[in-house]
């Protein structure tokens, strides 16, 4: 099986969906932010604060190279800016999880761990700043995607089935 690579904006639910797909298909879920944290033994927030965004993007590229070389048969959730790596398509089938900005904003800010979720995301500073970033990125996510899945108001269970059905179709 080709890897399934979930891309999309912060807070859209990439990690949750990756783990649900893994469970349903008996495969591993891998997360690029987790890989970066284990490589550096630092939290993402700390990497941004100490070394800056540019350095973090270099770590994302290194992670992409490693994934393309070493990981198969897995579902990979990515940080919201990971889609910019040079060799994205070499990693697997790219699935963009799409939702409106206000839906994503509510999903983060109205969740029970809202404070923690905002704190760990250095680029999710204010409504205005996050919306600007979303608007810049939305067309770029669409452009690199093999598949676009509208996630808004669907259950995780429904999304698991939709992703699996569509990725099987696109790789056959
Ligand atoms: C980022 C998204 C974050 C994390 C980092 C940068 C981005 O991941 O990689 O804070 O550029 O959108 P999530 O999409 O899991 O929040």
Cα of 79 to ligand 1 centre, how many Å?
Answer: 4
Mutate to test the pocket of ligand 1, among 81, 85, 130 (most ligand atoms within 8 A of CB): 81
Model confidence at 103, pLDDT cuts 50, 70, 90, reads: very high
Question: Taking 80 as the threshold, does the pLDDT of residue 97 lie above it?
Answer: yes
Sign of CA dihedral 66, 14, 9, 149: positive
* Cβ of residue 118 lying under 6 Å from some atom of ligand 1: no
Mean pLDDT across the chain, nearest whole number? Answer: 96
Distance CA 45, CA 7 (A): 20
Choice from 121, 122, 131, 135 to test ligand 1 binding pocket (greatest atom count within 8 A of CB): 121
In this structure, the residue with its CA closest to atom 4 of ligand 1 is 79
The full set of domains in the chain, from first to last, is 4-152 (3.40.50.300)
Determine if ligand 1 sits within 6 Å of the CB of residue 98: no
What confidence score (pLDDT) does residue 170 get? Answer: 72
Residue 169: pLDDT band by 50, 70, 90 thresholds? confident
Model pTM score: 0.97
C-beta neighbour count of 149 within 10 angstroms: 19
Mean pLDDT for the stretch of residues 129-135: 97
Q: What's the sign of the alpha-carbon dihedral 38, 8, 154, 71?
A: negative
Is the predicted pLDDT of residue 34 greater than 90, yes or no? yes
The pLDDT value given to residue 1: 86
Residue with the smallest CA separation from ligand 1 atom 1 is 80
Dihedral sign for Cα atoms in the order 162, 166, 168, 169:
positive
Phi-psi region of 26 (alpha: psi -120 to 50; beta: other; left: phi over 0): left
Could you give the 3-state DSSP secondary structure of residue 77? strand
Least confident span in 39-43, 44-48, 98-102, 165-169: 165-169
Q: Check whether 155 has a pLDDT greater than 90.
A: yes
Give the pLDDT band (50/70/90) at residue 172: low
Asked whether residue 123 carries a pLDDT value surpassing 80, the answer given is yes
Q: What is the dihedral of CA 156, 143, 118, 124, to 10 degrees?
A: -160
Contacts of 26 (CB under 8 A, 6+ apart): none
């Amino acid at each position: 099986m080709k890897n399934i690579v979930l891309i999309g904006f912060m807070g859209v639910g990439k990690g949750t969906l990756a783990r649900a797909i893994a469970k349903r298909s008996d495969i591993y879920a891998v997360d690029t932010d987790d890989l970066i944290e284990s490589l550096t033994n630092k939290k993402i927030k700390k990497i941004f604060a100490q070394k800056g965004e540019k350095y973090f993007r270099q770590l994302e590229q290194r992670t992409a190279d490693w994934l393309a070389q070493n990981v198969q048969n897995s579902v990979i959730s990515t940080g919201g800016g990971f889609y910019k790596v040079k060799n994205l398509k070499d990693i697997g089938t790219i699935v963009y999880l799409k939702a409106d900005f206000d839906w994503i904003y509510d999903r983060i800010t109205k969740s029970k761990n809202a404070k923690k979720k905002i704190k760990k995301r250095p680029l999710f500073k204010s409504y205005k700043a996050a919306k600007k970033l979303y608007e810049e990125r939305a067309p770029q996510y669409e452009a690199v995607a093999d598949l676009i899945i509208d996630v808004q108001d669907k259950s995780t269970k429904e999304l698991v089935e939709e992703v699996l059905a569509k990725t099987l179709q696109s790789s056959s």
